[in-house]
Structure 1
Amino acid sequence: MNAQPRIHPRPVPQRALAMLTQAGIHPLLARLYAARGVVAPSDLDYSLGALLPPDALTGTREAAELLADAIEAGARMVIVADYDCDGATACAVGVRALRAFGADVHYLVPDRATMGYGLTPAMVELAARMEPDLLITVDNGIASVEGIAAARAHGMATLITDHHLPGDELPEADVIVNPNQPGCDFPSKALAGVGVMFYVMLALRAELRERGAFAGGKEPNLGDLLDIVALGTVADVVQLDRNNRILVSQGLARMRAGRLQPGVRALFAAAGRDPARAASTDLGFLIGPRLNAAGRLSDMSLGIECLITDDAGRALNIAQELDKLNRERRAIEADMQEGALARLEGFDAAESASVSLYEPDWHQGVVGIVAGRIKERLHRPTIAFAPGAEGEIKGSGRSIPGLHLRDALDLVSKRAPDLILRFGGHAMAAGLAIRTGDFDRFSQVFEEVVAGLVSPADLTRRMDTDGALESGWMSLEGARLIEQDIWGQGFPAPLFDDVFRVENQRLLKDRHLKLQLVRGSTRFDAIRFNHADGAPPDLRAAFRLSINEYNGVSSVQLMLEHFEPA
């Protein structure tokens, strides 16, 4: 049932490689950078001074004036967040910065199961009980036409900060800040919701500075929030263009220097990871999932409280609760994935361009993860559904390169106008709601739309690698060089491939294959997780260089992502 990948070494532009090497960049890193489109050393300037200026982002100046006026008037503000890691971090950045500027600010986050996503009219009614003068959205709002109308009817001023793609109609908010709104020519369209909010806070500080707000005291240092910004940016799997790499690099530098917010420090402790060695992969695979678990199984207020408290003890207690929720989430996910794979027994990838799944006992907060796992396994756009509101099922989808998932759902809604009740999202991930009885019809229309949009090449899983790795760099030094750099969506972590002889192999815990591989005269320890089938005597493997630490001793280990007979 697994879609077998085709290993494809990335080309390395020689001119860029020469320029980077001549500039004194380490030869291994120069090769990896050149293969990822870096053409000049200046592309690797990750200093704060290299950030795109806030003024370049449409609406930041107007947002700063609106917020500064509200602070001067003592107005009450309420932030309406989203229930994922990006929404939680964006909310935390807003609350921390605005309180540092003297604002009266509170927050609300919808319950995934009962309220759904975004600023709905029902969410506005909830916010109205807090009597805000100004309603601010983070990581949502660009599609909330009815919600903003409801807020205006209550006499609230409204500020939308979002990064999602807008629909045909924009809400009538006082100010919208979104790099993807029509007419915004901000060069980085990949800002996460937390990045947008950080930019708004930078613009607000500049506005308050102009008004002399800090004349009698110390100006708040927004750089202290960059650990939170980096976490949300990596966890939301937005493309790590240069501007996002600056934000992540600056955040990681602060983590490694021990300059963390108490909540971020507590999340590292709960994950058993030393922030002094923080890597972008930690944010995506260890810290982000623990924060996300609150929004998936409980209430994201728990995650936001972890990020905004200054009490280290309280932060640690919350982080331990989040860790417990994450373990629970993993158990639920394992059960759901097992059920999904059982349903897909005998699935013929050659006959289908998409996968749609629904089980009445699935958990709404975990379907997105299951969709992602099935997508990885079958290399097909996948949408998994779970029961939602009365008479509805809610789906979460993950896509493959070559299919823009939100655009595909837009086409489904145009072909069958009564089918999708609500939808939204990005190229690679999207959510939707349909009526319970419409699952089969949706599956059919979605399959037809996807089949019409993708080519056979799109449906062939391609594993881009960095080719063979010289023996000298298959070392702790090489592994540490790679670990300390910035990798993520659009700037993928290095993956190498080479041919090895298998000297011995055994199973760990009946599910992980542990191998000793030989290349030339050198032996390497290797592991392939969640793979119980034996390896051939000679294999071609795609692998990542990693550091295995056992009893205080560090050694190089190859993490195998795929292998095939050599």
Structure 2
Amino acid sequence: MIRTVALRRRECGEIGEWPAHVPPLLRRIYAARGATRIELAQPRLAHLLPPDGLLDLDAAVALLGDAIERDAHIVVVGDFDCDGATACAVGVRGLRMLGARRVSHAVPNRMVHGYGLSPPLVDELAALEPDLLVTVDHGIACHAGIAAAKARGWRVLVTDHHLPGPTLPPADAIVNPNRPGDAFPSKAMAGVGVMFYVLLALRRHLRERGRLPEPAPDLAALLDLVAVGTIADLVPLDTNNRALVSAGLRRLRAGQGCAGLRALIEVSRRDAVVLTAADIGYAIAPRLNAAGRLEDMSLGIACLLAEDMAQARDIAQTLDEINAERRAVQQQMTEEAEAAVARIALDGTLPPVLCLYDPEWHPGVVGLVASKLKERLHRPVIAFAPAEPAASSLRGSARSIPGFHIRDALATVAAARAELLERFGGHAMAAGLSLRSDALAAFRAAFEECAARLLTPELLQAELHSDGELALDEFTRGHAECLRDGGPWGMGFPEPQFDGVFEVLGWRVVGGRHLRMELACGGRRLDAIEFGGWSGTAPPARVRLVFRLEPDDWRGGDAVQLVVVHREPA
């Protein structure tokens, strides 16, 4: 079953005032995203929001400053996804830059410790004899783990961005822009961005007290990591996040990234000089995430902390191999999930939400399966797997669609049936949860009942947004490059895509799955590629396409290609 798609063209609105070097096409695209001047469209570090609105920031800085002064042992506790790994690396590198001499790091193993700072992880950390724990990209839901750490006499600083529950954990300080009452204007920062902001405030604190040499350490050296974690976590790229990501991309394009990221760019066969947010999202981040999904994210963090390029390349090669294994596991699980959906939809209809489970699935990959099916079917999907082989507890990963807040829906279920969910947390579009295997049927029924009240037919209608048609003189290499470099594009600031009707002059299948077409429009011949587009049926003579315009680096010169996002008969 394939979703139906309604094509919507974005409204351009007021164009605004622009410098002469910004081409009209890019001005129109920026305006359609609400950016009517250059500092909104291409924000710089000078436009960053100050950290002062973050709640508990003074307490967090005092904890860190005191630990540095006392030469206390600081342990940065990461998470097993890309945001958590980059945030951990930013924390370790940044604290050392600011004078901390005793900094270690730790990360939970998904299969051993479960999520975040859990009591089992606290027991394991005792061997390190920490004085201060700093959680990154988690902690806001780790009540039991933080209580266990406090019982041992350790201090705990939580840095997180996930939505809190009704109560906060008993940490010494909690920095999270999504806390109730927090006045920080941007609620879209990833975990790595929150940790970077804490370091900015700590540097200011130490400078004011004369405890840093002049010139003070340049924390901009960490922005390559901030960019990767922010893009990977799919947070909205508001103006503040785009300033952070843009600066990080500039460092990576200039070859100034850390050794680990440079090695990952190499092993993924990307060109650092023209690296884009899409390259990070589709090539760099998956290789880091693969370690946390199938193995142990400590390997990914080791790559990001490597100082020697040869060592970084060795680790990046291992991550590449793990990622290849992850792709194979994901493909098998996705095919099994699609077969399960086909059985559910024997009458041609699907429920508004899907809860899928297979006892052989891997808990580190269910989020990717849920995401793939959510995109294909345009409805919320939760995929479950055993927390560990033969375990009685299940771990689920949920992905949602616009208009259906998945974490709030889980909170509604938990409020009505508190016995069903062991724990949950997340965002509007993605969440994680744990429950007993014998509670799955009751949870599915309660979740479907909740969704039936909230999901309307309009929300279940997939929409594909276009920036309209391109003029014939805009199908050029220059325009393709300005679109590529005009970002960063991502969640909340979508990459430009266009629509139009074309004649199909010829076509062929490449790689067994992809469809390459030769098109004609207004007397102009164009090449197009639709990845995964071969369905066994030849395309019609006339097609309506939604596409991205990209430089064709394979052919070089002035060549461009249309990367097809959606195809239908014209």
What is the letter of the counterpart of residue 140 of structure 1? H
Deviations 1:420-465 (A, max 9, x none): 1111111111111111122222222211111211211100000011
- Mapping for residues 233-312 of structure 1, pairs under 5 Å: 233-312=230-309
Aligned equivalent of 1:33: 30
1:395 maps to 2:396 = yes
The 1-side partners of 2:138 and 2:19 are apart by 45
Question: Does the residue aligned with 2:128 lie in a helix, a strand or coil?
Answer: coil
Q: CA separation in 2, counterparts of 1:420 and 1:395?
A: 11
Q: 1:56 to 1:278 in 2, by over 3 A?
A: same
Matched, 1:62 2:59: yes
Q: In structure 2, how many angstroms separate the alpha carbons of the residues matched to 1:349 and 1:410? A: 31
Q: Could you say which residue in structure 2 is the equivalent of 1:426?
A: 427
Residue in 2 that maps onto 1:209? 207
Q: State the 1:553 CA deviation.
A: 5.1
2-side partners of 1:248 and 1:42: how far apart?
Answer: 14
Contact 1:46 1:250 in 2 (8 A): no
2:381 aligned residue = 382
Task: Specify the SS of the correspondent of 1:43.
Answer: helix
**Is the CA contact 1:21–1:27 (under 8 Å) kept in the aligned structure 2?**
no
With over 3 angstroms needed to count, the CA separation of the structure-2 counterparts of 1:45 and 1:21, relative to structure 1, is closer
Query: What letter is aligned with 2:515?
Result: L
Q: Does the CA-based 8 Å contact 1:393-1:433 persist in structure 2?
A: yes
CA distance in 2, matches of 1:144, 1:61: 22
Matches within 5 A, 1:170-249: 170-215=168-213, 218-249=215-246
What's the secondary structure of 1:431's corresponding residue? strand
In the other structure, the counterpart of 2:165 is 167
Show the counterpart of 2:549. 545
What residue is the counterpart of 1:532 in the other structure? 534
Distance 2:57 2:468 in 1: 44
Equivalences, count = 562
- Listed as ranges, the gaps of 5+ residues in structure 2 are none
Contact 1:60-1:199 within 8 A present in 2 as well: no
Counterpart for residue 328 of structure 2: 331
- TM-score (norm: length of structure 1): 0.97
1:336-347 counterparts in 2 under 5 A? 336-345=333-342, 347=345
The 3-state SS of whatever aligns with 1:549 is coil
Identity of aligned residues (%): 50
Task: Report the 3-state secondary structure (helix = DSSP H, G, I; strand = E; otherwise coil) of the residue aligned with 2:425.
Answer: strand
1:133-172 alignment to 2 at 5 Å?
133-172=131-170
Mapped partners of 2:543, 2:42: distance in 1: 39
In structure 1, distance between residues paired with 2:38 and 2:465: 24
Give the structure 2 partner of residue 89 of structure 1: 86
Find the aligned partners of 1:40 and 1:476 in 2 and give their Cα distance. Answer: 25
Matches of 2:83 and 2:215 in 1, distance apart?
Answer: 29
AA at the equivalent of 1:539: V
Shift of 1:109: 0.4
User: In the aligned structure 2, how far is the partner of 1:489 from the partner of 1:520?
Assistant: 33
Provide closer, same or farther for how the CA distance between residues 151 and 532 of structure 1 changes in structure 2, counting only shifts above 3 A. Answer: same
SS at 1:238 equivalent: coil
Asked if 1 retains the 8 angstrom alpha-carbon contact of 2:51 and 2:184, the reply is no
User: Counterparts of 2:39 and 2:508 in 1: how far apart (Å)?
Assistant: 47
| SS of structure 1 residue aligned to 2:29 | helix
Q: Is the 8 A contact 2:133 2:156 kept in 1?
A: yes
Matches within 5 A, 1:409-424: 409-424=410-425
The DSSP-based 3-state class of the residue aligned with 2:559 is strand
Aligned to 2:562: 558
Q: Which amino acid aligns with 1:149?
A: A
Contact 1:349 1:378 in 2 (8 A): no
CA distance in structure 1 between the partners assigned to 2:567 and 2:212 by the alignment: 60
- CA distance change for structure 1 residues 22 and 157 in 2, over 3 Å: closer, same or farther? closer
Q: Residues 349 and 60 from structure 1, CA distance in 2 versus in 1: closer, same or farther, beyond 3 angstroms?
A: farther
Determine the C-alpha separation between the residues in 2 that align with 1:177 and 1:503. Answer: 58
RMSD over aligned CA atoms reads 1.5
After the TM superposition, which residues 493-532 of structure 1 pair with which residues of structure 2 at under 5 Å, given as runs?
Answer: 493-532=495-534
Q: Is there any run of 5+ residues in structure 1 with no aligned partner, and where?
A: none
Provide Cα deviations, 1:240-277, integer angstroms capped at 9, x if missing partner. Answer: 00000000000011111221111110110011112111
Quick check: 346-355 or 199-208, which moved more?
346-355
Q: Distance in 1 between matches of 2:89 and 2:405?
A: 30
Q: Secondary structure at the match of 2:433?
A: strand
Q: Structure 2 length as normaliser, TM-score? A: 0.96
Q: Secondary structure at the match of 2:423?
A: strand
Supply the distance in 1 between the matched residues of 2:464 and 2:41 (Cα, whole angstroms). Answer: 25
Confirm whether residue 464 of structure 1 aligns to residue 461 of structure 2: no
Distance 1:152 1:214 in 2: 30
Aligned-partner residue type, residue 94 of structure 1: G
The question of whether the paired residues in 2 share the 8 Å contact of 1:3 and 1:349 is answered with no
CA distances 1:294-331 after superposition (whole Å, capped 9, x unpaired): 10011101111111111111111101111111111001
Contact 1:23/1:41, CA 8 A, preserved across alignment:
no
Render the CA deviation track for 1:108-142: whole Å, top value 9, x for unaligned: 10011221111112221122221111111000001
The alpha-carbon deviation at position 477 of structure 1 amounts to 0.9
1 CA distance for matches of 2:367 and 2:202? 35
Q: Deviations over 1:130-188 (max 9, x none)?
A: 11111110000011122221111100111000000000000121111000011111001
2: CA distance, partners of 1:554 / 1:376: 34
The answer to which of 190-199 and 101-110 deviates more is: 101-110
Contact kept? 2:117, 2:145, Cα under 8 Å: yes
Q: How far 1:45 sits from its partner (Å)?
A: 4.9
Secondary structure, aligned partner of 1:344: helix
1:74 aligns with 2:74: no
What residue identity is the alignment partner of 1:112?
R
Q: Is the 8 A contact 2:476 2:558 kept in 1?
A: no
Aligned-pair CA distance for 1:21:
4.4
- 1:392 is displaced (CA, Å) by 1.0
Tell me if the contact between 2:550 and 2:562 (Cα under 8 Å) persists in the aligned partners.
Answer: yes
Q: 1 CA distance for matches of 2:184 and 2:428?
A: 19
